[in-house]
Structure formats: C-alpha cells, structure tokens
Structure 1
Amino acid sequence: MNYIFYRSMNKLSRIPGLLQLLLMTVFLVGCSSSRTRGFEKKVTRELQINKFGEHFTGLMVLDPSSGDTLVSVNSDLYFTPASNTKIFTLYTAVKILDDSIPALKYFVSGDTLIFSGTGNPSILHPNFRDSSAVNFLSRYSELVYVPGDFPEGRYGPGWAWEDYDSSFSPERSSFPLYGNVVSVTQQGGLRTEPNLFADSVQVMVKNRRREEKRNTFYFDPSRTDTLEIPYITSDRLTLTLLENVLGKSIRIGEAFPVEKTRTIMGSTPADSLYRRLMQESDNFIAEQLLMVSSFVLSDTISSSLARDFVLDSYLSEMEYKPRWVDGSGLSRYNLFTPSSMVYVLKKLLDEKGREWLFSVFPSGGKNGTLEEWYTGNPHPYVFAKSGTLGNTYCLSGFLIARSGKILIFSFMNNHYLEPASRIKARIQAVLEGIRDNY
C-alpha cells in the first residue's frame, strides 16, 4: 500500500493544484473505505463463527473520530433494549438537570410551610441518606403536604406484574422515601428501615416477600444479607413516614396558593445518582430521574413529558426514533435500534467527554454489572451498559481498541433460547476481536 501510495503521489505532482487535491481526497477515501469494508467483513465472519445467526442480532460499531461506520449488521432494526434504555434516561437527565436536583417544592406563609415532592429519588434512600428535605421541613412548626399529581401510575406500561415484591421493581411516586423499599436484616436482631414497618415484617419462609395488595412482608430467617422489598406507596403513607421521622403532625392540603412557589435542592450530587443508575442498573433511580426532569421542565411530574421533550428537541435529527415508554427498560414495549443507541452515545461522548463517561458507565472486569465480564489485560477496554430480560441481552457503550482509539458500539440480542452467559461469552469474543484488530 505504501509503494502504491508513493507512485500515485509522484503522478499527482504533475497535476494542477485543485485537481490534485480532489484526486488525493478520492484516493484516500477509497483506501479508507476499503479498510472499513475489510474490517466489517472480518467482524461479520466472527458473528457467524460465534453463532449469532441463530437468534435476532444487531450490531453497530462507529469510529467517532472519523465518523466511519465500521460495522452495521441489522443496525436499523428495532430490538427490545432492556436496561440499555437507561442510556437515553442518562442523556435526558444530563441535558435537563444541574449538578444537584430539586428535593422539595414549597411555599411559606408565616409559620406554615406548604410543600410537595419533585420526584427526587435520594431522600432517605438507603444508599444516599439524603436528609436535606427532612432537615428543611423540621424548621417549621406547621406543615401542609400537597400530594403531587402523577397520573401515569405506580408502574410503567408493560412491566411484569409478578415483580411487585422484587427489589429491582419499586413503585414510582412523586415523593419517594427510603427508595420506596423496606430494608430488613437480622444483624444484631431483626432490624427494619423505615422502622414504621417493624410490626409488618413476619419472620417465616414464604414463596413471596410481600402480600400483593398490602404491606405485609416476609423475611426468611436463614438469610444473612439485607433484604429490600418494595412497599405499596400512597399519599397517606408518605405523610405517615414523614411524621414518623420528623416527630410532628402534618396536614394534607389540596393545592398551593396562587403565589409563586420555590424549590430547595437535594444534597446528593447528580453524578452519584448517575453512577448508581448505570453501574448498578438501578430501575428506581431511572424512573425517578425522568420524573424530576419533567418537574424541572414544567413544574409537573410526568415521565412521558420528559421523554417527548428530549426526542423532539435534542434528538430531533435522529433517524430511527425509538418507541420509548419508561426510564428503566423494564417494559417490553420499548423498541430501539442499535443505530439510535450509537447516536445518543456519540452525543454523550461529544458533550461529556471520555473521563466522565468512563467514571459513570460500568467498566469491564472492574465494577457494576460488568464486573465479571469483558476483562481487560491489564486495564478495562469496555465501558458499557448491559440490559437483560428473559431471552434478551444487549450491551451498548464504548470500546478502547489496541490502537488507542475509542469506538462506540451497540450489540443487541433478542429471542435466544440458551443461557445468557453463553451469549455474553460470544459477545466477549467478538469485542476482543474488534479491540485487537482496529
């Protein structure tokens, strides 16, 4: 190739300047296109060898520095994304929220504080312990709670009903407390947080962790770890939980006065929420981030409002618009293409930079949901969000090639009939091939 290039340059030296530049450009683009086609053929062959033709598979790989699409296999077809949906949720939060997020909406009238929630997920959350809202409320002798209007309901569309007692499926609410879960442990005797539910926990072996329609919980006495169980939310329960932690009574109000309301910010940095969202694939935080984003946009709580706003504004030029129905990806109604995932990942890279993204996304072989997969030698080479549902495994994010270049990829798999671990092993083989050959 070097010899051919040298001879071509000699010939070009005898051609007038503008034409010479044009021919050089065509020659280099042709060489680049040839290399890209060869790389794509090699990766496609790896997909065939690793049996990715036995189920519905899509893969797109982009070199963001050149803008070249290196691999495109079913990249414009729609897949169930599972938790890859959180990439769009992260982008929404990054575009709308500041470094900290609102914790309370309020209005002060004399000694009376009228307040409501903003959807902030960190208040008294077991992983963040954000007490800023509670400390603010404690300053006032008279408290009036105005329940937030959230017509979209406790569960997202298309969620599995049988997950009601699973720790990964807390209910959505306008004023969440304690992550909307009850935490139960036997260390030092049976302990329950919030302690309001202490008498509602029964120590016995049951096939469910909670009754479906009431807050009665079951804790297996053989457990040695902490069990988190979603509780059934309600405006009355929110009021009672706040009264319990504040040690004072609270009245329920119907609405705020006509005068302008104000907000206070929570003490949990937004980046801390984003890291848990992505690394632990926290469904609750995903849902609540969309809700608090809509609050910032319009003073109302509606996850669909936030989704529609982002799609119609920041992502208006995206060619293959998704069917996007929740923040977490728990719903099988979601439909995304690999190309749309790559599109948003490219925007995140351009706007936030690699250092920030690599600190937020799970690192292969190091932390979060990728701790046991895609291990680098010696450093991580994959920084990506996984997504898992029954017969579904998707992985989208960033890959560092041997050349040092950052590549963006989305690898989506639906409708396989074998253990997900086998799919992951095959994906790892393909990603290692991409890493070593680009």
Structure 2
Amino acid sequence: MKKFCLHFFLSQRLIAVLYFILLASCSVQRQINKTGTTNIIDNAANELINCQELSTAHVGIAVYDPSENKYLCNYQSDKYFTPASNTKIITCYTAMKYLGDSLVGLRVDDCQNTLLLYPTGDPTLLHSDFKTNPVVDFLKAQTSKLVYLKGKWEETALGQGWAWDDYQDYYSMERSALPVYGNVVTVYGNNGSVAIQPAACIKNFSNSYTDSALFISHIKRALNANEFVADKYSKEESNPSIPFIVSDSLVLQILADTIHKEIYTLSDGWHAFPPIVASYKIHSQPTDSLLKIMMHRSDNFYAEQALLMVSDQELNVMSDEKIIDTLLKTDFKNMPQKPRWVDGSGLSRYNNFTPQDFVFVLDKMRKEFSWNRITSIFPTGGSGTDLTGKVYAKSGSMSNITCLSGYIITNKRKTLIFSVLVNNNMSTATIMRKKIDAFLSSVINAY
C-alpha cells in the first residue's frame, strides 16, 4: 500500500511538473523568424512585438533589402491585416503610373456650336487647395452651348465597408463623377456675416445663434438631405466643412453659378448633335501635386477620386471593382499574397493586405519611378524621433489599427523597404507610432 501511495505521489508530482513546463512554453515571448541579419534588428523587432501595448495585438513586420533581394526581418509578414490608409500606397502607385504628368479635368467633344462635356472624376475642380482652375477658365471662355454628359458612372457615393455614421465627417466626402469644392460645404465669417461655399447650399442652412462676435465652429447635416445646422461657436474663425449630398442637378447649378452661363443636360432635350469636329482634353493640375497632398494629409477624397480617374481613363467607366480587378490581374498579379482590395483610401475595413504585399508595391514603385519623385510625394519623419530624411512612409490608422509602410535610409546610406502592420491594438495611435519609430531608429543605426 505504501509503495502504491509513493508511486501515486510521484506520478502526481510528474504531472504537475509537466503542467508547469507546458504553461511556461505557452507564455514564451513571440519571436521573429530570424533571417541571419544582425542581432540588433532582431532584438529591436522582438522588443516591439513583445511590448505591453501589443500584448493582445496582431502584428506583422517586414524589412527588405532590395539590393540583396532578401528580408532582414520577417515576422508574420505573409499574414493578412486591415491596413487603413496604407491602402493609399497602392492607389498612389496606380495614379503615378496611369494619370500622366497632369490630371485630365474634362474631356470635350466639339460639335461646331455645341460642346459635349464629359467628367473624369477630377477632385481638384474649385478645390481650395489649388489657386488656379483651368477647367473653369476654359468654360468661361466658351461661346458655344455647353451640354454635360454624365459618362459611365458605376459607383456608389460611399464605399464598401465605410462606417455609415461617418457621413458628417470631413474625411468621408461622397465620391462623384464631377466633384466641385471637394464635395464639401464650408462656412466662412462670423454670425454677423456668414458666407457659405458653395452658395447653392445656403438656402438649406440654419443658424439660430445671434451673437455676431462669435464664429461658427461646427455644423451638422441631416442624414439624407442637404440640410445644415450650426451647433457650435467660437471666438476664433475655423471655417468648418462638412460633406454635402451630391447630385448632378446641384453640381451643375454650382458650376453654372461659377461660370455665369447655363449648362444643359440630355434631359433638356439635347438628343441629336452635329458631327464631332474635334475631341480634346482640358488638363487641370499637376498629378504629383494631388498625390503629395493625398499622401501627406492622408486625404481620403483624393485617393478615392484618383482611383476612379484611372478607371475612367483605362476602362472608360468609373468603377472601383472593375479597375481593382484589372490591376490585380496585371500590375499586381505577382503580389506575394493576393489581397482583398475594395477602395482607394483604406476607409473600408474590408481591405486585407500583408506586409509582403506592401513591400512588393513599394519595391515596384522604386524600380519604375525616380527617387526624387517618390520622396517628393511621400511624407518624411516620425513622431517622437527625428526621422526626417531617413524614413519616407505612409501611416495608416483607425480604431485599434496602426500601420506604417515605406522606405528607410540607413546610416550606411542603404535603402530598405519596410512594412509594420498592427491590428487589434488597444493603445493609442500616438503611443504605437512612437514604438514603431523606435524600431525604425534601431534599423537605421544597425544597417
């Protein structure tokens, strides 16, 4: 009996020891897949992966040396993540390749005394970012009748997977074939003298506050109507903006008010036209001026419209689905992992890319375009550390998502490509960016 008890006791001890060994093995810190690079980079990556703020997060890291065609750091880089505004890197490459040196603001068929006007999706028309308006100047100078043809628009105003309640936020403007004023209403002046641009919306604006010394600082819009209400005020002017609901009739009214002449549509009885004697394009702004703002400000509207402009130019139809399908079968057919790509801006949580996908596109960009062009478009620098001139990258963030992908210039003047994608993190974007910047600083110093 004593012998049995001794065996039983020892077996229980053995089970307990095995249990604690198993438990310990489950709590071992996550390790990167080492690729033979310096321990400094490995240790820096492990420090990022295992920091407290990322203890419950999903993390993917890729650092690639294009000169040696090898990864220096590779942790879950073949896994899919929601990239937020890192999606704009894909859109930026597409626009750089297909939109030429300057944007086509309008296509025109000249039918003797009638001009047929075709929209291109150009977001710069009457936008406050640009001081000149070549399309407006062209239209003002015409003596022929102007007839607007909508073209082949096959999109929705808002994209797949966008949050419906973002409709009032500055970053969620409606997409359209002929944008004007960035498809937003902007309020200027104080309560003693309120001005609204575009003016066509002023009859739908209510402001019950009467203190003429205060400025309107925030406005709201009804969900399904262009009805605006001022609801916050300040002693300093801030010129708040809010997206308006786009319609052909409203846009053409705004444009007609600007050029001081009528613009007809086919519904006005214009069904037959004289023969076309000439066809031409009116260019608006330098393409890279748009892309630089898009990447630096992370402008969702510019990104969405840029992708639609490529679709219009290459497929003669404005459709995210069709141009994305075409690009995935051509330019991006060799992506390491086939992504799920649904919009131009990254507003959608349906987007799924891997860190290796971003490395692939960034490497493709580096091979096909000049370094001066890339660095003039991409933002440089970082939060909390001095990375200006050493990191050229696009950030991406939304709730519980922090991403950064781009190029590193090391202390030894090597150009590396990287992508760090973090999903399901419960910390703030500011803290996460500082953690990522610290990792990049280690790479800069080590290689």
TM range (shorter): 0.7 to 0.9
Q: Please name the residue that 1:334 is paired with.
A: 351
Q: Please name the residue that 1:387 is paired with.
A: 396
**Alignment match of 1:175 (pick from 178, 186, 189):** 178
Alignment of 1:36-435 (within 5 A): 36=37, 38=39, 41-51=42-52, 52-138=54-140, 139-186=142-189, 189-203=193-207, 209-219=220-230, 220-222=232-234, 224-253=237-266, 262-365=279-382, 372-376=383-387, 379-435=388-444
CA contact (8 A) 2:36 2:72 kept: no
CA contact (8 A) 1:100 1:265 kept: no
Segments of structure 1 that go 5 or more residues without pairing to the other structure are 1-32, 366-371
Q: Which moved more, 1:347-356 or 1:331-340?
A: 347-356
Task: Give the letter for the 1:144 counterpart.
Answer: V
2 CA distance for matches of 1:256 and 1:218? 44
**Cα root mean square deviation, aligned:** 2.3
CA contact (8 A) 1:154 1:171 kept: yes
Per-residue CA deviations over 1:143-196 (Å, capped at 9, x if unaligned) read: 111123322210100001111111111100001111111121226932222222
User: When the two structures are aligned, how many residues end up with a matched partner?
Assistant: 398
2 CA distance for matches of 1:207 and 1:415? 31
Change in Cα spacing, 1:279 to 1:34, as seen in structure 2 (3 Å) is: closer
CA contact (8 A) 1:113 1:140 kept: no
Q: Please name the residue that 1:437 is paired with.
A: 446
Cα distance, 1:100 vs structure 2: 0.7
Segments of structure 2 that go 5 or more residues without pairing to the other structure are 1-33, 210-216
Task: Give the letter for the 1:364 counterpart.
Answer: G
1 CA distance for matches of 2:403 and 2:49? 18
2 CA distance for matches of 1:229 and 1:48? 39
CA contact (8 A) 1:148 1:175 kept: no
SS of the aligned residue for 2:317 comes to coil
CA contact (8 A) 1:295 1:301 kept: yes
Change in Cα spacing, 1:208 to 1:125, as seen in structure 2 (3 Å) is: closer
1 CA distance for matches of 2:172 and 2:97? 26
Q: Answer with 1 or 2: which has the greater Rg.
A: 2
Task: Give the letter for the 1:94 counterpart.
Answer: M
- Sequence identity (%): 37
Task: Give the letter for the 2:241 counterpart.
Answer: E
Q: Which moved more, 1:129-138 or 1:112-121?
A: 129-138
Cα distance, 1:413 vs structure 2: 0.4
1 CA distance for matches of 2:202 and 2:131? 19
TM-score, normalised to structure 2's length?
Answer: 0.83
Per-residue CA deviations over 1:357-382 (Å, capped at 9, x if unaligned) read: 111111115xxxxxx45423xx4321
Cα distance, 1:34 vs structure 2: 7.3
Task: Give the letter for the 1:45 counterpart.
Answer: N
Per-residue CA deviations over 1:242-299 (Å, capped at 9, x if unaligned) read: 1111212222116796859734232310010010110000100101011111111122
1 CA distance for matches of 2:104 and 2:122? 7
TM-score, normalised to structure 1's length?
Answer: 0.85
2 CA distance for matches of 1:310 and 1:342? 17
